Each structure stands twice: as structure tokens, then as C-alpha cells.
Structure 1
Amino acid sequence: MCFMMTGCKYIANAHPKRFANIAHPAAIGLVLVGTVLFFSLEMFYILPMIYDPNGLFFKIAWLIALFIVYNFLGNMLACHRTSSAVTSLPKDRQIPSPEEEHLWHFCDHCQMLVPPRSWHCKLCKCCILRRDHHCIFTATCIGHNNYRYFFWFTMYMLIGSFLSLATHIHLLLINEDMRRQYVILHIAHIIMVIKPTSSEAIALNISFIFNLYACILPLIMLGYQIPALYLNTTFYTLNDRSYNQGLRRNFMAFMGKRGLCTFFSPHIRSPLPHDGTQWQTKPPSSTV
């Protein structure tokens, strides 16, 4: 994973325009196509083999699946559409006040002063407020204004892929005939080139393997993002503790004033405590 990230970063820096033209459509297409395929296979093929299609559990599973897909794709779209660029600030806030000017720094690319914790992205061609990283799956930079959506996008990716994997495992436990179809259960005999006996079995095996990878990717992403959220840092500055204001204030700085309520929908309004230009570097005296 680290090798892939390093390689992508190198190519993006060397050929930003070409990288964006290829990586963005490919990554977004992978997410959309994967969502449709996983949803269709789970809900129309696997789930009816586990629960009675006319039963209560089947209907509850459908409601949960639709809720997850809505939040997954909704947060993905909101993340893409919400700009964290310095230029998204009101005109009067794009210029520091005299008492703040010493905290701002000059960007050679944008040829302007930018707020603390902002830095330039070659792919977005602008400076980003509290820039975390550039995400190819949302085709935008993750920063002060859209971090909330990216975090829940990642979280729902993990929840959805985990529940999808759980239905596969549940099917294996209750259906002996299906167990025989899963090549993954015959690792010791892979050398003998055992092949699935039907197109359905091929689809199940491919889905199961991709499901494993679909669980690993968001798990790794959250492995970076949870410490960043907990300590008020960023992906590239995980060791920086200078902006840590305590868990409650840190969470509000990322998610807004409604905090955990943002989990339920990307459409819930949750104003951030400030515009991303002013950052406290030590806890307030009242909490010391």
C-alpha cells in the first residue's frame, strides 16, 4: 500500500495533468461500477439465499443497504463538490489582517499569501485550507471544508464492504453446496487448478476476493485518518501535535457543530467553528 501511494505521488508530481486525466476517471469509475456490482450481487443473489424474501429480516437488510449506499455515494459527491481552496474564502478573508499576517506564508505557485496549514496542490492548481491529501476517488483535495464528507465516505466504504463480506461468510456457514463453489476454501488444491463449476460460482469467487480488498483499503485509510482526527493533524503531518485542542474540540473542527449527527446524512448542515484561516496552537487556558 505504501509503495502504491509513493508511486502515485511521484507520478502526480511529475505529470499532474496526465495523472488527473487518467487516475480520476479510473478511480471514480471503479467505485461506481464496484458499488453497482456488489449491491446487485448481494441483494439479488446472495441475500435471498440467506433470508426469506418475504420476511422481516430481508426487508431490514434492504433498508440498511440503501442507507449505506446513500451515505457512501452522497458523501463522495458532497466531498467532490465542496471546495476547500483558499480562493473559496470570501474576498476579504483571502487577505490577512495586520495582526495575522506574520502567521501566513507566501505560495510561489499562487503568488499570494495563504493561511497557516494551507499548502499547494499541483493537481488542483491551488492552495487548500488545512490540506490533508489529494483523493483520486473523489477527484479533489481533502481539506478544511470537505474533510467531514471524506471521513464518512471512507467509513461507509468500510461498513458496506464489511457487511458484504459478512453475508458471504454467512452463506458459507449455512449452505454446504455453496461452500463447494468457493475456490478460496480450497487453497491447498489451487495448484491442481480447480475451477468453479458455473458462471454463478465464478462471480461469487471474484466478488469474495474483491470484497476482501474492498475491506482492506478503507481500513488502511481510516488507520491514517482516525489519528489525524484525534490529534487535529493531517495525513502528511501525523507527528504534529501543535494544533491538538482535545478530542471534543478536534472533532468539532473536522465535523462541525453537529458532530456525530453528520454520520446519518451528508445533507445535515453542520457549520464549522471557523473558516480555516485561524488555528489555535495550544489548548484554551480553561481546559489546562
Structure 2
Amino acid sequence: MCFIMVGCKYVADIYPVQFVKTAHPLSVGLVLVGTAFFLSVEMFLIVPMIFDTGGVMYKLAWLVAVFIVYNVLGNMLACYRTDTSVASLPRDRQVPEPEEEHLWHHCDYCQTLVPPRSWHCRLCNCCILRRDHHCIFTATCVGHNNYRYFFWFIIYLTAGTFLALASHVLLFLINKEMRRHYMLFHITNAFSFVEPTRKFDLTFVWINLIFVLNAYAFTFSLVMVAYQIPTIYLNTTFYTQRDSQYNRGLRENFGTFMGSRGVWTFLSPTIRSPLPHDGTQWETRKPSATICEC
């Protein structure tokens, strides 16, 4: 994971334009194709071997699957479409008030003053409000205005891949016939003589390939979530995780990222949840710094 991130950052710094033209379509396409692939495999192959297709559990599985896919793609699209650049501010907020000017800093690329916690992205070619990082899977920068969508996007990716992985485990446990198609069965069977192994066939190849891809997708999503936990817990960013000066407590931090509706934003990307400020004013945890940074 770290190797991939470092490699992508290295290439992006040297060839920003080429990186955007190549990495964005490939990464977004990977999410779209992967979502369609896992949905089809789970709901048309794996789940029907676990639940009766005419039963309540199968229908419930479809509802859960559709809900997760809706939130994966909906939050992904909302993250991409939500402008979180300094240029998205009203014109009067793109320049500091005289008493706030000392809190802003100069961007060498944009050649202008920008709010605190904002910094330039070479891939987006602009300054981003409370920039967290540039996400190739949503083809945009993640910052103050769209962090909510990115966070739920990776949460639902993790939930979806986990449930898909769990369905494989459940199938392995309850279906004796399909159990023989999993490599895990043959590995454990090599150390015992309880049941004879079956000759490997095309089903064996596919079922194990799907299982491995599923395990990798879940692990990758889980790692992305793990990287974001300190961000919300400490009100920091991906590249400044040791900076906790803006930490106002978990409840207030969560509201800063998710808006007034808080945890209800989990239900849908279409739920309106206004943020507490426009991304130019940040209170620190220091008692002496009660004035907002702008």
C-alpha cells in the first residue's frame, strides 16, 4: 500500500498532466468495473447458493447490495462534482479581512494569499480548502467541502467488499459441494485424510480468483479507512496527521467534516448537511487562540 502511494506521488510530481490523463480514467474505471463485477458475482452466483432465491433473505440481500452500490457510486460522484477549491469561495471571501491577513499564507503557484490549511495541488492546478489529499479513485482533490462524500465512499467500499468476502466464508461453511472448490479446503485437506480431494476444474479456478480479488479489495479499502480515522479523530489531514492543534473533540470534529446532519449523512449523499463554516476559519485547541483562523 505504502509502495503504491509513494510510487504514484513520485510519478505525479514529475508528470502531473500525464498522470491525471492516465491514472484518473484507469482508477475510476477500476471502481466502476469492480463494483459491477462483485455485485454480479455475489448476487447471481454466490448468494443464490446460500439462500433460496424465492426467500426473504435473498430479497434482503438484494436490498442491502443495492443500498451499498448506490452509496458507493453516489458518494463517488458527489465527491467529484463538489468544488472544494479556494476559487469556490464567494469573491469577498477569497481575500482576507485586514485583521485576518496575518493568518493567511502565500501560494507560490497561484501567486496569491490563501486561507490557513489550504495548499496547492499540482494535479488540480489550484489551491484546495483544507486539502487532505488528491484521490485518483474520485478523480479530484479531497478537501473541506467534499470530505464527507469521500469518507462514506470508502466506508461503503469496505462494507461491500467485507460482506462479499463474508458470503464466500458462509458458502464454504454450509455448502459441502462448493467447499471442495476452494483452495483453503485443499490446503487443510493436505494435512488430513477425512475427504478425498477433487480434481481441479474451471469452477475451482474462477471461485478462487474471485475470492483472492475480493480479499485484496477488502484489504485495500480497509487500509484507506484506517488512514482516515486519525483525520476525523484529531481534525487533521492525511499529510499532517501529527498536527492536532485543530482538535476540538471527536463530536465537534465529526460535525466539521460531515456538517449539521452528522451521522445521518451515512444514509445518502443527497442528504443536505451544511458545514459549520466555509473552510477559511479554523479554531485551534489552544486557550490563547480563541480567535478563528481565516
d(CA) in 2 for partners of 1:137, 1:185: 35
Q: Does 1:73 align with 2:76?
A: no
Alpha-carbon distance between aligned partners in 2 of 1:200 and 1:137, rounded to the nearest angstrom: 31
Residue 229 of structure 1 aligns to a residue in which SS?
A: helix
Q: CA deviation at 1:143?
A: 0.2
* 1:152-207 deviation digits (Å, cap 9, x = unpaired): 000000000000000011000011221111234434899xxx99744433322111
Aligned to 2:29: 29
Q: 1:247 aligns with which of 242, 247, 250?
A: 250
Q: Corresponding residue for 1:278?
A: 281
CA contact (8 A) 1:184 1:205 kept: no
Write the distance in 2 (CA, Å) between the matches of 1:175 and 1:155.
30
Cα distance change on mapping 1:195 and 1:28 into 2, 3 Å = farther
Cα distance in 2 between the residues matched to 1:284 and 1:275: 23
Report the residue type matching 1:27 in the other structure.
S
Mapped to 2, the partners of 1:284 and 1:180 lie a distance apart of 64
| Structure 2 Cα separation of the partners of residues 279 and 265 of structure 1 | 27
Distance 1:187 1:210 in 2: 19
Q: 1:206 to 1:279 in 2, by over 3 A?
A: same
User: Take 2:123 and 2:187, find their aligned partners in 1: how far apart are those partners?
Assistant: 43
In 1: Cα distance, 2:116 partner to 2:204 partner: 54
8 Å contact from structure 1 (residues 182, 196) kept in 2: no
Contact 2:48/2:58 (CA < 8 Å) preserved in 1?
Answer: yes
Distance 1:140 1:260 in 2: 24
Output one character per residue of 1:4-56: Cα deviation in whole Å (capped at 9) or x when no partner.
Answer: 11111111001001111111111111111111110001001111110011111
Give the one of 258, 263, 288 matched to 2:261. 258
Structure 2 gap segments, 5+ residues each: 191-196, 289-294
Within 5 Å, give how 1:157-236 maps onto structure 2.
157-187=157-187, 197-236=200-239
CA contact (8 A) 1:244 1:283 kept: no
SS at match of 2:282: coil
8 Å CA contact 1:246, 1:283 repeated in 2: no
Counterpart for residue 237 of structure 1:
240
User: 2:193 corresponds to which residue?
Assistant: none
Contact 1:256–1:270 (Cα < 8 Å) also in 2 = yes
Q: Deviations over 1:100-128 (max 9, x none)?
A: 10000010111111000000000000000
User: How far apart in 2 are the matches of 1:217 and 1:277?
Assistant: 33
Cα 1:283/1:28, change in 2 over 3 Å = same
2:277 aligned counterpart, secondary structure? coil
* Letter in structure 2 aligned against 1:181: H
2:24/2:136 contact within 8 Å kept: yes
Measured in 1, the distance between the counterparts of 2:167 and 2:139 equals 31
Scaled by the length of structure 2, the TM-score of the pair is: 0.92
| Counterparts of 2:199 and 2:114, CA distance in 1 | 58
Tell me which stretches of 4 or more aligned residues in structure 1 moved more than 6 Å.
none
Moved more, 195-204 or 209-218: 195-204
Aligned 1:115-126 pairs, distance under 5 A: 115-126=115-126
Distance 2:81 2:6 in 1: 26
Percent same amino acid at aligned positions?
63
Q: CA RMSD in A?
A: 1.9
For the 8 Å contact 2:260–2:274, the answer to whether it is kept is yes
